[in-house]
Amino acid sequence: MKIAERMLHYSDGGRDVAIAVSVDLPVQGERDWSCRYRIGWPEGAHEGAGYGVDSTQALLLAMEAIGTDLYTSDHHRSGRLRWHDLGDGYGYPVPKTIRDLLIGGDAAKNGEI
């Protein structure tokens, strides 16, 4: 079940393409928790998950995975991906290892929510 969604936008040859980023409710498994997410890229959706010892950790790791997927994407590298204002970041946390990629408001918050 989807619990959150954010719309990003990608400028593609003069047209604005909406990119939905959604997060599902964390689910308890036999040994751990998982939290699935989906990024609706123009060329096809990417799905992933964060896993943790409890639902909070699974959710946090899913959010960091989203941030990682966004900041390491060709769409980000093109400079045409935005949430609100171009160059202001996407509002997702990232692990410390890629904080050098952050832009705008995300960089000001050092990759934390």
- Is residue 71 a contact partner of residue 63, using CB atoms and an 8 Å limit? no
Tell me the per-residue pLDDT of 52-82, one tens digit each, with 9 for 90 and over: 999 999 999 999 999 999 999 999 999 999 9
Question: Could you count the other beta carbons within 10 Å of the beta carbon of residue 29?
Answer: 10
pLDDT of residue 20: 99
Average pLDDT, the chain: 95
pTM of this prediction? Answer: 0.94
92 touches 63 (CB < 8 A): yes
Give the domain ranges of the chain.
2-107
Which stretches in the chain have pLDDT values below 50? Answer: none
pLDDT at 112: 63
pLDDT score for 13? 86
- Nearest C-alpha neighbor of 23 from the set 15, 13, 34, 12: 34
- Give the pLDDT of residue 39: 99
d(CA 107, CA 109) in angstroms, rounded, equals: 5
